[in-house]
Amino acid sequence: MNFKKLFLSLFFVLASLCAYAEVQITANVNKTLVDTSEDITLTITVKAPTTRDLSPIMPSLPNFNIYASGQDISRGMINGKVSSVQVFTYLLTPRFAGKSTIGSFTVNVDGQTYTTEPIEVEVYRAGQGNAKTSLNKTKKPAKNAAYTAANNSQIVQTLTNIAAAAAKNAASQSEAKAADAKNKISQVAPDFFMTAKTDKTTAYLNEQITLKIRFYQAFSTLGNPLYDRPKMEGLISEEIKTSTGYETIGSRQFAFTEFDIAVFGIVPGQAKIGSAAISYNVADSAMDAFDLFFSGRTGITKKVETAPIDISIRPLPKDGKPTSFYGAVGADYKINAEVDNSATQAGAPITLTVSISGNGNMRAIGNLPPPDLGGSFRVYETTSSSSTKIQNTLVGGTKVYKTIIVPRATGKYNIAPIEFSYFDTNEKIYKTIKLNDISLEVSPAAQETSEASAVSFAGDNPAQARVEKLSDDISYIKNGQLSLPSKILLFIANLGKINYLVFFFIAAALLFYFIDKGSIDLLSSRRALLKAKKAIIKAKELDGVSDALEDYLEAKLGEPIGSKTMENVSQKLALSAGLSAKLNGLWEEFSMLKYAPSSMVNAETLEDSAKKTLNLIEEIEKEIR
């Protein structure tokens, strides 16, 4: 029984550890039914037993313009193991009306790939309000963006600076005061408290809100206080700085630690900065300094926290939103574009670098479209990197886009002016910055140069000018079908076993052939009879009739008659004496009529001879069958 309990306990401990160690990635959108003028906020939450950056790999999303809106990482420890909850936010602007799928995002952790479920989104054209209403009735409500820091995880941060400040303060206090404080240990709360305030409670999407959290302490704590960051709902945060100082409140002097945090709204609507909390240890009333020093006891744990703050996030104005707006919100943006080599050779890669700097959340700026260079360049995928710079309490920085382009042909080219727009939070308007063209001169590649120089004397003479190949590209699409002969051939090829019938026909033909050639005279005999009859009927002279008889007899004999007499023929065909006599008589009649005067051979004679011949053939056929 005890073993069972032990086993079950171990099982549950292991199961909970395994569950914790598991990597989880989820994707949520704030709405699944939008019009083409609205944005969708997509939140990817990655929970993993690691604190390294786990930026997800995006699927191809051709139906949306994508703007990375921010990244928030909460690191913590559970059961002595590091963990993190990383939240990546993207703003998706639909490009087309219709149903679209946001494909699976993936992260790789220790060689394992984890993916999110695809999300179906329906986009309708702006202005189709009825469609939205009716569709809303049938669709499930979209999940709200689950943007919370790691719930229940104890985010631990050692506040060494707090301890140091408090120690300084404590050193200046008298021992009597410390003893008094010890006596009032049950009423310690007023000696420690926290405040949280923001510079504004209403802001535009991605506009910076500065949050200041202060932890006041009248005397030092035992050990290091533990700080729990405020949970953000609909917001992302970026730490600006931590500072310490003193402040006199009433008649008491407090040491304080201030955490300055930049907060950005990522979803229009109501957002919330949750409570920040600090846990600290103080000596309990039963302990004296000796106990504290030698017993190693840590005293009793207390906790103070701030009140939550509601923030209202306004959407960016739709009116006047330029097409070159990629999500930048803030002030004092600047843009610069340059190529590393403006005079290059065909086929040699050039790097086009576009840098955007200013005050605002750089990670909210989406990818710039690739430069429009026509077909004369091969343009590779743009890579981007961003760096953060904090001036006073303003978060800013630089985002750099690098695109490799390879000229395919020689000539002079201008990279079209690059435009970039941002929403100025000071003036509450969109502003557009436009750069000048970038000129490129592409000379022939090394092997082409010598060829070109060889014909350079051609000059401008049109007669000697040659066709210059500017670029290579695939051929255009075409419509058509396979030609009829091809279709017939494929039909024959696909006849399958029916095709094997051909061998039957060949075998049959060969059989007929050998029968025809062999001693079995069925066909040739029959054919000789038909042929003779045909020739006799068609004969216009007596010679035609006699020739037909001769051919018939040769066919029956299988050899030419030559000098054979009719007696020989009759013998070879084994004819009866009567029939042999008839054959002899008829043959002699033909011989006689052949040399008779023409007045004796008339139509009647011909008809009579033909009849006699036909009768004779019929009789021979009957006899030799």
Q: Name which of 63 and 388 has its Cβ closer to another protein.
A: 63
At its nearest, how many Å lie between another protein and the CB of residue 505?
4
Q: Name which of 176 and 477 has its Cβ closer to another protein.
A: 477
Q: Is 490 helix (H, G, I), strand (E, B) or coil?
A: helix
Both tokens of 551, joined, read 């051919």
At its nearest, how many Å lie between another protein and the CB of residue 473?
8
Q: What is the dihedral of CA 522, 526, 529, 530, to 10 degrees?
A: -160
Q: Which sign, positive or negative, has the C-alpha torsion 171, 175, 176, 179? A: positive
Question: What is the rounded CA–CA span in Å between residue 215 and residue 278?
Answer: 8
Residue 499 half-sphere exposure, CB side, CA atoms within 13 Å?
Answer: 8
Helix (H) or strand (E) holding 178: helix 175-183
At its nearest, how many Å lie between another protein and the CB of residue 493?
4
At its nearest, how many Å lie between another protein and the CB of residue 528?
12
At its nearest, how many Å lie between another protein and the CB of residue 104?
13
Q: Name which of 13 and 490 has its Cβ closer to another protein.
A: 490
Instruction: Kindly list the residues in this chain that would bind another protein in the complex (CB under 8 A).
Output: 62-63, 96, 381, 472-486, 488-495, 499, 502, 505-506, 508-510, 512-513, 516
Q: Name which of 493 and 577 has its Cβ closer to another protein.
A: 493
Q: Name which of 7 and 512 has its Cβ closer to another protein.
A: 512
Q: Name which of 291 and 547 has its Cβ closer to another protein.
A: 547
* Partners of 309 in beta bridges: 273
At its nearest, how many Å lie between another protein and the CB of residue 489?
3
At its nearest, how many Å lie between another protein and the CB of residue 554?
15
Q: Name which of 414 and 499 has its Cβ closer to another protein.
A: 499
Please list, in sequence order, all residues whose beta carbon lies within 8 angstroms of the beta carbon of residue 116, skipping any fewer than 6 positions away. Answer: 25, 26, 27, 44, 56, 104, 105, 106
Q: Name which of 463 and 474 has its Cβ closer to another protein.
A: 474
What are the φ/ψ torsions at residue 374 (nearest 5 degrees)?
70, -165
At its nearest, how many Å lie between another protein and the CB of residue 480?
3
Q: Buried b vs exposed e over 243-271: b needs ≥16 C-beta within 10 Å?
A: ebeeeeeeeeebbbbbbbbbbbbbbbbeb
610 and 543 in contact (C-beta within 8 Å)?
no
At its nearest, how many Å lie between another protein and the CB of residue 408?
11
Q: Name which of 58 and 335 has its Cβ closer to another protein.
A: 58
Q: How many residues does the chain have?
A: 625
Helix (H) or strand (E) holding 249: strand 235-249
Q: Buried b vs exposed e over 142-158: b needs ≥16 C-beta within 10 Å?
A: bebbebbbbeebebebe
Helix (H) or strand (E) holding 553: helix 542-557
Please list, in sequence order, all residues whose beta carbon lies within 8 angstroms of the beta carbon of residue 142, skipping any fewer than 6 positions away. Answer: 29, 30, 31, 32, 33
At its nearest, how many Å lie between another protein and the CB of residue 26?
23
Q: Name which of 495 and 537 has its Cβ closer to another protein.
A: 495
At its nearest, how many Å lie between another protein and the CB of residue 441?
25
Q: Name which of 129 and 369 has its Cβ closer to another protein.
A: 369
Parallel, antiparallel or unpaired: strands 394-407 and 383-391: antiparallel
End-to-end CA distance of the chain: 110
